Amino acid sequence: MTKLYIINGPMMGHSFDLNGNTAFVGRAPDNEIQINDRSVSRKHLRIFKRADQFFVEDLNSANGTWIFGKQIEPGQECQVTEGLPIGIGTILISLVEKDSEEDSITQYSIDLLKPTGKKWRNLPHNNRRISDGRHLELIHEVSTTLMQSLDVDEIAGKIMGSIFSCLKRIDSGAILLLEKETGKLKEIIVKSREEREGIILTYSRTIVSRVIREGKAVMMSDTGKEEREDLSDSIELMRVKSIMCVPLIFKSEVRGAIYVHSINVPYGFRKDDLLLLTGLSTPATVALENALLYSKSREIEGALRRSEQKYRTLVESVEDMVFTMDTDGRLIFCNPRSEMITGYPMDTLVHMTYRDFVALESIPVMESQMASLSSRGVTDPFRVTIHHADGRRVHLELTLSPLQDEEYETVEIQGVAKKIGELTRAKELPSYEEAGVTL
């Protein structure tokens, strides 16, 4: 009897018998298999049996159906076998039948860069089984790591620790990532089961490079039976007997690899173990990519904060009036010098429009200059007159520049104003350009 197992989420551990030839999976109660999770569509997936083989079809779901880290096209019939992790939204499911055995094998590989579909149908039935309940739990454990940390080193340590806990034959392992800027391979973690002083932590760079280059998950269960050209000198020097290595693939690009080896005995790994690492590769990659993105965003935020602090310091120190207003002319920011030039307190100015203090004869000039920003960019200096809070008329020279969104629409306007009476001594005072303030 084949069952559908839920590997993660609020229904983790639930199983459903696949009695008929067709079963619908989704959030709605009229499905044969109801999975109550918001990431799952009401009618998400169809599972059907044809000639003793199982197939799945995505029913145009909102969050997609994922196999080996690749989204299958809606309406596409894709063959699946027992133990293959299937992602529907954020939920992992798997079809399992416990009464089949696997054959031993010397070398085996899975091409993770090939598109899903008919090419998978040529793979042997046993080649993608993960029937061990502990293996399914491990996939869930690593998936849960996504929500627990955004630190790359911590995530890599948890992933490697989980793999060591499940695969007792592992002696050493490593997680490596490609640096996007340089293309160089960076060691995130290299771990040995016996971490004691004097042990050199290492891995086969030849195998890792091959896996990253070809995008294939590779297992060598007995290096003694491999062709000499398939091995490297380091494998012999390290006396490695069994090797597994899987690529970390994100959005159809190889981003790194998970590598493990055994030095004790040949046939240290089985096909099931390779399938386990393959199943782990997707959640592991997503976790690491999220952590890297978070780290990068923190760097950018820090740079922006430093830039903003520097900009604000410069703006507050210059002798010019520096201000920002929306496209309707309402002030939303002004520097301390603005209070001295206009006579209005800063907290009052940011609730005013330029029409509240610009002289009536100068309003058409302001409107004309603002209207020209979309085509001209920064305006040439122009002169206006304002009413000081004490009733005096103050003459200013203004320059305006637009702040635009991604579609080049003006969303705010920056301005710099200098009192015309002070222009004669402008060389003695730092202008906003000299202070480093850029419009």
DSSP line for 360-376: GGGHHHHHHHHHTHHHH
Tens of pLDDT, residues 136-165: 666 666 666 556 778 888 888 888 888 888
Cβ neighbours of 392 (radius 10 Å):
9
pLDDT value for 339: 92
Give the three-class secondary structure for 359. coil
- The per-residue pLDDT for range 57-85, each reduced to its tens digit, is 999 998 889 886 678 999 999 998 877 77
- What is the per-residue pLDDT across 313-345, written as a single tens digit (0 to 9) for each? 666 667 889 999 999 999 999 998 999 999 999
Higher pLDDT, 126 or 163: 163
381-430 per-position pLDDT tens digit: 999 999 999 999 999 999 999 988 777 888 899 999 998 865 444 444 44
Q: What is the pLDDT of residue 183?
A: 84
> What pLDDT band is residue 203 in, cutting at 50, 70 and 90?
confident
Q: What are phi and psi of 161, to 5 degrees?
A: -60, -40
> How far apart are the C-alpha atoms of 83 and 4, rounded to whole Å?
10
Q: Which domains does the chain have, with CATH numbers?
A: 2-97 (2.60.200.20), 107-113+132-294 (3.30.450.40), 318-423 (3.30.450.20)
Residue 78: per-residue pLDDT: 92
Q: What is the pLDDT of residues 182-195, one digit of tens each?
A: 888 898 988 887 76
Q: Which residues pair with 79 in a beta bridge?
A: 55
Helices 152-166 and 271-317 pack at an angle, to 10 degrees, of: 170
Degrees, nearest 5: CA angle 214-207-278: 65
- Range among 109-113, 148-152, 365-369 with highest mean pLDDT value: 365-369
More confident residue, 203 or 390: 390
Looking at residue 117, its amino acid is: G
Most confident region among 9-13, 97-101, 143-147 by mean pLDDT: 9-13
Residue 238 vs residue 91, higher pLDDT: 91
Q: How far apart are the C-alpha atoms of 40 and 63, rounded to whole Å?
A: 7
pLDDT at position 430 is 46
Q: How confident is the model at residue 112 (pLDDT cuts 50, 70, 90)?
A: low
DSSP H helix total and E strand total for the chain: 9, 22
Confidence of residue 300 (pLDDT cuts 50, 70, 90): confident
Q: How far lies 278's CA from each of 70, 108, 110, 345, 351, in Å?
A: 12, 12, 8, 64, 59
Residue 227 pLDDT exceeds 80: no
Nearest to 281 by CA among 152, 192, 159: 159
CB 170 within 8 A of CB 265: no
Which residues fall within 8 angstroms of residue 132, CB to CB, at 6 or more apart?
Answer: 272, 276
> What is the predicted pLDDT for the residue at 117?
44
* pTM listed for this prediction: 0.48
Q: What average pLDDT does the chain have?
A: 78
